[in-house]
Amino acid sequence: MHRDVKAPFYPLVHMFVLGIDPGLTRTGYGVATRRGGTMTAVAAGAIRTSAEDALEVRLATLARELRMVIAEHRPTAVALETVFTNRNRQTAMSVGRASGVALLVAGEAGLPVTEYTPTAIKLAVTGSGSADKAAMQKMVAKRYGLKEAPRPADAADALGIALCHLQSIDLRRSS
C-alpha cells in the first residue's frame, strides 16, 4: 500500500553570509555561517580608508579589500545595511558611495545581495528596533557564543547584519 507523505519543512541546512556595514572611512565586514539552527561567526573586521587620500583612491581600496574578503571566505550571499537618511548629508553621501562599491563587488562575484534597514537589523538581533550600539554588540556576542563583541563596532555591526540575514532566510522561503 502506498501512502503520500508530505515531507517536513527543514530549515536551510547551510548558508555562508558576508554582512557589510558600509562606510567610507570604515566598512565593517562579518562572515557567518549557519548549519541547521547553529550560527557561527567565522571572521570579522573593518576595512579602513584614509581621509587624506582622494575619493577615487578610497573607493578603489574598499573595492580591492572587499574582493579579498570574498575570495578568502567564499560567501554564498551578501547582506548589506541600507543607506539611511542622515541629518548630515555628507555622511549619507559617503555611506552611499561605500554601499555602491559593496554592491558592485558582490555583483562582480555573482553573489545575491539583500539589504536591511538599521531598524530591521536591530530588531532581528536584539528584539528592539531602537537598540543602541552597546546592546547590539552585547547581543551579537551572545548570539554567536563569543566571549566579547568583535572590535571595532563596525565589525560587530556587520556580524549583526549577517545574523539578521541568516535568521530571515526561512521567513522568506516559507512565504
Banded model confidence at residue 3, pLDDT cuts 50, 70, 90: very low
Rounded-to-10 torsion of CA 91, 53, 155, 68: 130
List the chain domain ranges: 14-170
Active-site position among 4, 53, 108, 154: 154
Nearest Cα to 95, choosing from 25, 22, 29, 161?
22
CA 17 to CA 43: how far, in whole Å?
11
How many Cα atoms sit within 13 Å of 29 on the Cβ side?
27
- pLDDT tens digit sequence for 67-112: 999 999 999 999 999 976 666 777 778 889 999 999 999 999 999 9
Gap between the Cα atoms of 28 and 38, Å rounded:
23
Residue of 56, 65, 81, 115 marked catalytic: 81
Residues 77 and 18 sit within 8 Å (Cβ to Cβ): yes
Cα torsion through 95, 96, 101, 106, rounded to 10: 100
146-168 mean pLDDT: 93
- How far the first Cα of the chain sits from its last, in Å, is 34
* Catalytically annotated residue among 21, 53, 72, 170: 21
Here the cell at position 50 is 584614509
Backbone angles phi, psi at 119, to 5 degrees: -65, -40
pTM: 0.88
81 classed as catalytic: yes
Q: Which CATH architecture has domain 14-170?
A: 2-Layer Sandwich (3.30)
Are 15 and 119 within 8 A, CB to CB? no
User: pLDDT tens digits, residue range 50-73?
Assistant: 999 999 999 999 999 999 999 999
Question: Per-residue pLDDT averaged across 125-135, rounded?
Answer: 89
Please name the residues in contact with 47: beta carbons below 8 A apart, sequence gap of 6 or more.
Answer: 26, 27, 29, 61, 62, 65, 66, 69
